[in-house]
Structures are given as structure tokens and as C-alpha cells.
């Protein structure tokens, strides 16, 4: 089977030193870019970070560096002979150095971007600019500074352990999330460079990315003055339940899903039971309903439950561990599992979850061995790149997708966040809706009288868009939708497989009339495998994709990671969409992009699959822990539900922490001694405000962060200075503070406008995209084929 390569010939220079940077470059390499990794004398520190087994390098290094070549260079030495030639040849540069470090080396990102035409992507824990940009950071403190940590673990874990500290999700999740956003920007700005000949500088803060992924919950907190924590169940009924061999997630939200569940467990009588006959009744009687589900699941195995309920239409998922991910027949058939051979080993590597016209991504190629010192650039990098000529267009750097038309056929969160990200890059996004079957996020929970234009949840993932109301139940409505599709550059859908086929809007349906269109379909498991297209929500992607298994306390259950998982899927889909658009811009044609949400999440835990193959032990939940780092945890502070994340990167940090808290941490060797020392740290932090603890540890260059809630984020001077929080005047909700784009381009933040009322832009968008005269549009309104307005 042919593979899809959109970046062949594009030269990407990775300035080693950060897992997020490595993952960003890996993502671009997956699409065929030529990635050269610069390692310092002695090699990248990640080579020895975590388990290695028989391999010369760690699992996380192998996973984040497949397909690359490496060179040795000292970025801190202005006389190093190899760096200037590499920079002269590169199209994209990705790094994590601070402004001071780059200026000392004469590598100002602004100069690289604007004097040399390079796309420079900086990924740092707290960004390149802002009052807190120089803070030390690790995966642990950045995750908890992003707002999601205060929510985890909820559900069953919180019921069992309500007094334990919050935990982070996964292992390297924040790094992989930021790497995906970096890849998104590299693709968008490379498209702009082809149009204009100009480079650009993108500033990605891992903290901003983490906050952005939590926007559905955080926006509610910002505007309603509430503080959500682990006690918030998230789901009124359903969720995670123990079974004979692990845990299962069941999410029967809609009436049809509830009916399928009741039938599947042999209780069809419950469908019409007054306690459960409506969603409101089920929410009122959630305790009784959950007990019925819990009792049924307790006597069955997870896979048997899945096989019994999923074919009936119930959203259900078992919790995949590394062996399950490694042996997935569905993923293998789709091409979502690749194989690499190096250092005498053969390893299966999870892929990101895309197919393009049914074709998988190329490779993967082996990871690079430790490089030898050389004064010569690698083959193919000795010639300076040709300046991108461009075609004279004047595209703003902060709007590189200006002029790209996106037809949005999405709902809930994953698809809407895909198109929201594209809108933040300047694309014109038209969302097709209907009041007869509105987006679930338009409906305000617990308030049926609120109407369809008063939902903060909907606003959070539909910023900057236009809304066109179309009745797809009538022929002229469907014909109009097709006319819009023929005018689009990109179509995005996250309905279950079969929806676009019924509307005749697949790429095969459109390519004769619009050969350049890119059609992106997001679904739970993706097309082309063994899964027939079962229903799925974020909690299903989390469980089946492997993230839930790695999240939680070591002696506790797996954990549901919810809304943010949808947005992580949306980010991966946006990357795939831009890769396809860039392939078209470089001389190709349109294509169909299929995205598996489950595999998108597996891509964020792929190192655990490598680790399992190397050491033969199933990677397990570890709370906030990571490998042998210590102390590396969350500790209580003075106040109600106040916590601080403290992360020692090495023995030096450990000594500094000990000096601050008055303990000899170097003497704590055994597990019992370490637990005793951690109790001492907790006693010290418990007597102080979180801000005092963070200030004391930052003063000695130790990573630390308060575990932030939405109210804390609102007050965070660094976050506000970076422009992440945007103030809007929503036409029905009134003044709102929302999370904007998690990046800055050339120092500017993306423009942000509120989500539209349903049907607000029907007339204007139809005229602009199709050229229909006003009289014909008025006729369509009169006959009910389109909705031009809606009640507030």
C-alpha cells in the first residue's frame, strides 16, 4: 500500500533538549520531513531518561525520535562550525532555548524568521515571553499549572480516596500535547511561507496548551465564579465501573444509548421505568441507575461487556494497557502500528491515527544511534535552502490560513475544537447547524428554557465561527449543503461513519467537481479496520486509547479523563488537516483524511508500548510519579483543597529542596525513608500558602507550581500577560472571559470573537460562498430549507 507524504523535501532542524520539541519534530517527520536532531556533546539527556531494557536508549527517546538523523553540536559555543550551515539549510527550526540563550549564540528567533525566512517554533514550559517565562518547568508542574490536575482523579478514584492529592494524566502528556500544537503551527506557517516567502516565529507555552485543552471546564469557572475539583463527577450517571478483570466505562447519555444499554443488560423494562424514562429522570435517580450498572458489570469481564454492549449502540469502552494496544487487530489493519528495527531489536511503534485516502503514513524509520562528533552536516544539508519565492500575497503571520474556507459539520467537542484551532489561524469557518437537531453543547444542562445561544460550553469550542442554519431533511437543504461543500477548501466532520456517505459528501462524491477539497472525518475508532463504527465519547477514547490505564494512584482504579481528551483528538485532527492542505499546496490534490480518536490518544502514550516491549513489564499507574525522579509529587498547602506540585529533576534539585524545607533528603535512600521524607515535606508545605512554597522553590531554581483551578488561572499574571485569556462581549451571555489561542506568532495573539447564534450568518455566508441571489435565499428561508435567525 502506498504511503502518504506531504512534507518530503522539507528540512526540519530540531535543537535537542526537550521532549516536547522532540515530539513536535517527530510529528513532522511522520509526514515525510527530513528531520535532523542536534545533540550536545555527550548526547541528548533523554537517551537515558527512563527504562531502557536491552536497548541503548530509553523508551521515550526511541518513541520520540524515530526517523531522524543526528549531529553533534554545541549550541552554547558561538564558534561551533556546524550550526550556521544547518540553519542556512533548514526550512523549520524547533527549539526550547530561552531568549537569553539564543541571543548569546546569535540565534535570535526574530532574526532567523525575518532575515532568513525560517519558520521558528519555540516550545517552553511557560513560553518564550511573559513575566514567568524563565521559570523552571517539568511535565509535573506544568500539567498542574494548566487547570486539569485539580479535576483528577474524579469518579470512582475520588470516592475511594477523597483525601489524596490530585494527579497528572499519563506520563509525558503535556509534552506531547505541546508538541502537537508546535507541529500545527509549523505546518500553518510553512503554508504561509510558500505563499509569501516570509518566515515567522511561533511561541508555544506548554502551560497555555494545557489550559486551552481544559477550556470547556475552565471557561465555566472563569465566568461563573465556581471552582471545580475532583468531587465534580462530570457525568450525572454512568462512568467507570469495576468488573472482574479491571474497569469499564459506560456513557449512555442520550435516550437511544440508554435504551441500548437497558436492552444489553437484560433489563428492557428499565427503558419505560419512570425513574429512568427521560434524561432528567435518570440524572435525578443516578445513584439507583449506577448501582444497576455496577452490579451487572461486577460479574463480567471487561472485553465481554464491550462485545455485548457496543454492537447494540451503547458508548462503552474497556481500559487498554500496553499489551492490548500492541496487539490491536483494528489498529494493525488500519496501519496504525508500525515496526522499526535497530540496535538488534525489532519494536512495534504506535502511529498517530491517520489514513489519507486509505493510505497510512510512511515508515516509521529507526531511531538514530548516539552520534559521533563531526564537523560536516548530514547528507543533503550542505546546500543553503532556496528562499521561498511566494506569490506576492500579504498574509499576516498571526493569520496564516487567511483565505482558507472550512465547512464545519461537527458537534460536541472534538470536531469543533479542530475547526476552532483553524479559525484561530485565520481560516474562515462556517458551521452548518439546525435547531431541529442542535449541537449537544448548545443545550444548557439543567435549563431547558435557556435556548440554544446561551451555552458557555458551546462558546468555548466555537469561537470565531459563522453559523449557517440548514434543514437537511428537505432536498433543497441538502442541495445547498452540497453547493457549500463545492466552495470549501476543507470539510471537517466528527459524526459516526456513514453520515457523510448518506449526505453524498465524501471526498469520492466531491472530487470530480472539487478535486482540491480535503475532507477530514473523525470517529471513535476510524475507518478501515475491524471496528464497524461503534459510538464513542471522550471517556471512550480515553479508556480504549490507553491514557486512562496510566492515570491514577498505583493502588487505585483507572481514571476517566474526559473533555480534554476530545480536544486532544481535535488537535491531532487539525494537524492532519493541515498536512493534507500543505500537500495540496505543494502540487498535490485534495484527499480524504480519516482520524481515529482512540489511536490519536494512543499516540500520546506510545512510549509505554515501547517500554513494555523493552522490559516485559506492563507500565502502570504511578500517581504523580515518573521513573526514579524524587521528590516528584503534589503536596498539601494551607487552605481548603490547596496543593503544590514539586519536581526534583536530579540530585541537585533534591538537595535544594532539602535546604528549603530543612530536611536531609540525600539521606533518604530506602522506600520507607523516602516516604518519611515526603511526610516531612508535606508538613512543611501544609503550614504555608501555595504561593509562598512556589516562591521559595523558584528562588533556588526548582520546578514548582500551585495546582491551579479556574479562579487561580484568572488571577495568574503570567497567563494574562501572554494574552491567553480574552475578554468578549457575547450577544446573549454578556461579557465573557474565554481561553484564546495557546500560542503567539511574531509576538501577537490571535484575534478572538464569540461563538455565533444559530443561523446568524446564513444569508451572508451563502451569498459569499455560492453566489445565490438574495431572492433565492429568501425563498429557501420561506420554505424552511434554511434558518436565517433563531430565538435567543
Q: Write down the pLDDT at residue 109.
A: 86
**Residue 566 bears catalytic tag:** yes
Which domains are delineated in the chain? 252-314 (no CATH), 405-530+569-598+753-787 (3.40.50.10540), 632-707 (3.30.1540.10)
If pLDDT is split at 50, 70 and 90, which confidence band does 493 have? very high
Q: Is the pLDDT of residue 186 over 70?
A: yes
Does the global pTM surpass 0.75? yes
Q: Is the pLDDT of residue 391 over 70?
A: no
Helix (H) or strand (E) holding 354: strand 354-356
Q: Is the pLDDT of residue 778 over 90?
A: yes
Q: Write down the pLDDT at residue 107.
A: 80
Residue 141 C-alpha cell reads as 508542574
Mean pLDDT along residues 652-671 = 95
Chain segment 25-83, per-residue pLDDT in tens: 999 999 999 999 999 988 999 999 999 999 999 999 999 999 999 999 887 777 788 88
Mean pLDDT along residues 742-765 = 96
Chain segment 11-23, per-residue pLDDT in tens: 999 997 899 999 9
Minimum mean pLDDT range among 113-122, 412-421, 537-546: 113-122
Catalytic-labelled residue, pool 236, 566, 716, 761: 566
Which SS3 state, helix, strand or coil, does residue 644 take?
strand
Chain segment 678-726, per-residue pLDDT in tens: 999 999 999 999 999 999 999 999 999 999 999 999 999 999 999 999 9
Mean pLDDT along residues 756-783 = 95
Residue 339 C-alpha cell reads as 515496526
If pLDDT is split at 50, 70 and 90, which confidence band does 791 have? very low
> Under a CB-based contact definition with an 8 Å cutoff, are residues 536 and 315 in contact?
yes
> Under a CB-based contact definition with an 8 Å cutoff, are residues 433 and 465 in contact?
no
Mean pLDDT along residues 306-327 = 96
If pLDDT is split at 50, 70 and 90, which confidence band does 377 have? confident
Most confidently modeled of 36-45, 370-379, 399-408? 399-408
Most confidently modeled of 164-173, 369-378, 529-538, 774-783? 164-173
Distance of alpha carbon 150 from alpha carbon 735, whole angstroms: 26
Give percent of the chain with pLDDT exceeding 90. Answer: 82
Q: Write down the pLDDT at residue 792.
A: 42
If pLDDT is split at 50, 70 and 90, which confidence band does 1 have? very low
Residue 451 has φ and ψ, to the nearest 5°, of 85, -175
Q: Write down the pLDDT at residue 772.
A: 96
Strands ordered across the beta sheet of 518-523: 354-356, 591-596, 518-523, 490-493, 405-409, 428-433, 466-470, 786-787
- One DSSP character per residue, 387-442 reads PP---S----TT-TTTT-EEEEE--TTHHHHHHHHHHHTT-EEEEEE-TTS--GGG
Helix (H) or strand (E) holding 296: helix 286-297
Amino acid at each position: 500500500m502506498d504511503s502518504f507524504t506531504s512534507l518530503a523535501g522539507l528540512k526540519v532542524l530540531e535543537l535537542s533538549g526537550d521532549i516536547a520539541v522532540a515530539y513536535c519534530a517527530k510529528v513532522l517527520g511522520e509526514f515525510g520531513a527530513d528531520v535532523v536532531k542536534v545533540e550536545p556533546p555527550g548526547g541528548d539527556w533523554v537517551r537515558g531518561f527512563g527504562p531502557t531494557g536491552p536497548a541503548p536508549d530509553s523508551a521515550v527517546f526511541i518513541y520520540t525520535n524515530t526517523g531522524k538523523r543526528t549531529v553533534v553540536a554545541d549550541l552554547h559555543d558561538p564558534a561551533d562550525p556546524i550550526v550556521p550551515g544547518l540553519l542556512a539549510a533548514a526550512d523549520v527550526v524547533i527549539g526550547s532555548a530561552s531568549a537569553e540563550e539564543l541571543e548569546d549564540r546569535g540565534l535570535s528567533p526574530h532574526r532567523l524568521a525575518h532575515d532568513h525566512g525560517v519558520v521558528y517554533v519555540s516550545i517552553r514550559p511557560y513560553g518564550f515571553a511573559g513575566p514567568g517565562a524563565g521559570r523552571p518547568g517539568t511535565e509535573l508542574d506544568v500539567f498542574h499549572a494548566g487547570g486539569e490536575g485539580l479535576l483528577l482523579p474524579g469518579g470512582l478514584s475520588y470516592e475511594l480516596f477523597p483525601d489524596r492529592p490530585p494527579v497528572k494524566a499519563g506520563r509525558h502528556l503535556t509534552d506531547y500535547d505541546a508538541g502537537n500544537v508546535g507541529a500545527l503551527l509549523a505546518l500553518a506557517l510553512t503554508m504561509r511561507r510558500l505563499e509569501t516567502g516570509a518566515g515567522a516565529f511561533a511561541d508555544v507555552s506548554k502551560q497555555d496548551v494545557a489550559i486551552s485543552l481544559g477550556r470547556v471546564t475552565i471557561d465555566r469557572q472563569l465566568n461563573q465564579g465556581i471552582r471545580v475539583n475532583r468531587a465534580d463527577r462530570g457525568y450525572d450517571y454512568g462512568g467507570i465501573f469495576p468488573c472482574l478483570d479491571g474497569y469499564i466505562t459506560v456513557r449512555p447519555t442520550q435516550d437511544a444509548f440508554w435504551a441500548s444499554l437497558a436492552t444489553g443488560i437484560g433489563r428492557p423494562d428499565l427503558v419505560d421505568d419512570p425513574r429512568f424514562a427521560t434524561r432528567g429522570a435518570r440524572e435525578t435517580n443516578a445513584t439507583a441507575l449506577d448501582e444497576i450498572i455496577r452490579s451487572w458489570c461486577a460479574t463480567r469481564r471487561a472485553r465481554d461487556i464491550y462485545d455485548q454492549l457496543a454492537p447494540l449502540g451503547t458508548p462503552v469502552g474497556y481500559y487498554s494497557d500496553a499489551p492490548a494496544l500492541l496487539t490491536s487487530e483494528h489498529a494493525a489493519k488500519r496501519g496504525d502500528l508500525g515496526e522499526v528495527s535497530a540496535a538488534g531489536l525489532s519494536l512495534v511503534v504506535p502511529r498517530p491515527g491517520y489514513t489519507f485516502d486509505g493510505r497510512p503514513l510512511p515508515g516509521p524509520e529507526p531511531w538514530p544511534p548516539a552520534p559521533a562528533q563531526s564537523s560536516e552536516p548530514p547528507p543533503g544539508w550542505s546546500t543553503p535552502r532556496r528562499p521561498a519565492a511566494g506569490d506576492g500575497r500579504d498574509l499576516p503571520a498571526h493569520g496564516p490560513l487567511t483565505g482558507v474556507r472550512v465547512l464545519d459539520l461537527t458537534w460536541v467537542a472534538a470536531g469543533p475544537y479542530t475547526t476552532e484551532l483553524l479559525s484561530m489561524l485565520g481560516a474562515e469557518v462556517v458551521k452548518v447547524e439546525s435547531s431541529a437537531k442542535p449541537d449537544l453543547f448548545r443545550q444548557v444542562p439543567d435549563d431547558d428554557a435557556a435556548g440554544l445561544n446561551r451555552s458557555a460550553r458551546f462558546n468555548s469550542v466555537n469561537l470565531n465561527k459563522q453559523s449557517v442554519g440548514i434543514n437537511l431533511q428537505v432536498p433543497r437543504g441538502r442541495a445547498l449543503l452540497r453547493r457549500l461543500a463545492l466552495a470549501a477548501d476543507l470539510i471537517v466532520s466528527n459524526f459516526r461513519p456513514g453520515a457523510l456517505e448518506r449526505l453524498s459528501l465524501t471526498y469520492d462524491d466531491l472530487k470530480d467537481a472539487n478535486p482540491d477539497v480535503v475532507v477530514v472525518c473523525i470517529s471513535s475508532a476510524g475507518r478501515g479496520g475491524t471496528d464497524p463504527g461503534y459510538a464513542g465519547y471522550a471517556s471512550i477514547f480515553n479508556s480504549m486509547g490507553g491514557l486512562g490505564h496510566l492515570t491514577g494512584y498505583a493502588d487505585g482504579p483507572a481514571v476517566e479523563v474526559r473533555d480534554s481528551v476530545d480536544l486532544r483528538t481535535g488537535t491531532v485532527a487539525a494537524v492532519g488537516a493541515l498536512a493534507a492542505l500543505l500537500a495540496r499546496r505543494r502540487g498535490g490534490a485534495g484527499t480524504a483524511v480519516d482520524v481515529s480518536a482512540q489511536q490519536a490518544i494512543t499516540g500520546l502514550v506510545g512510549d509505554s508500548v515501547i517500554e513494555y516491549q523493552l522490559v516485559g513489564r506492563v507500565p502502570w499507574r504511578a500517581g504523580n510519579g515518573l521513573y526514579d525522579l524524587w521528590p516528584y509529587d503534589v503536596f498539601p498547602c494551607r487552605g481548603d483543597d490547596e496543593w503544590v506540585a514539586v519536581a526534583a529533576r536530579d540530585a541537585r534539585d533534591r538537595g535544594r529542596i532539602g535546604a528549603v524545607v530543612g530536611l536531609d533528603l540525600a539521606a533518604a535512600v530506602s522506600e520507607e525513608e523516602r516516604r518519611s521524607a515526603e511526610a516531612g515535606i508535606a508538613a512543611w508545605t501544609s503550614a504555608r500558602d501555595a504561593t509562598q512554597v512556589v516562591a521559595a522553590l523558584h528562588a533556588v531554581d526548582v520546578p514548582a507550581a500551585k495546582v491551579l483551578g479556574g479562579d487561580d488561572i484568572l488571577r495568574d499574571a503570567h497567563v494574562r500577560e501572554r494574552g491567553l485569556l480574552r475578554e468578549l462581549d457575547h450577544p446573549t451571555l454578556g461579557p465573557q472571559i474565554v481561553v484564546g489561542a495557546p500560542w503567539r506568532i511574531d509576538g501577537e495573539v490571535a484575534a478572538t470573537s464569540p461563538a455565533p447564534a444559530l443561523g446568524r450568518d446564513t444569508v451572508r455566508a451563502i451569498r459569499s460562498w455560492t453566489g445565490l441571489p438574495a431572492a433565492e435565499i429568501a425563498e429557501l428561508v420561506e420554505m424552511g430549507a434554511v434558518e436565517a435567525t433563531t430565538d435567543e
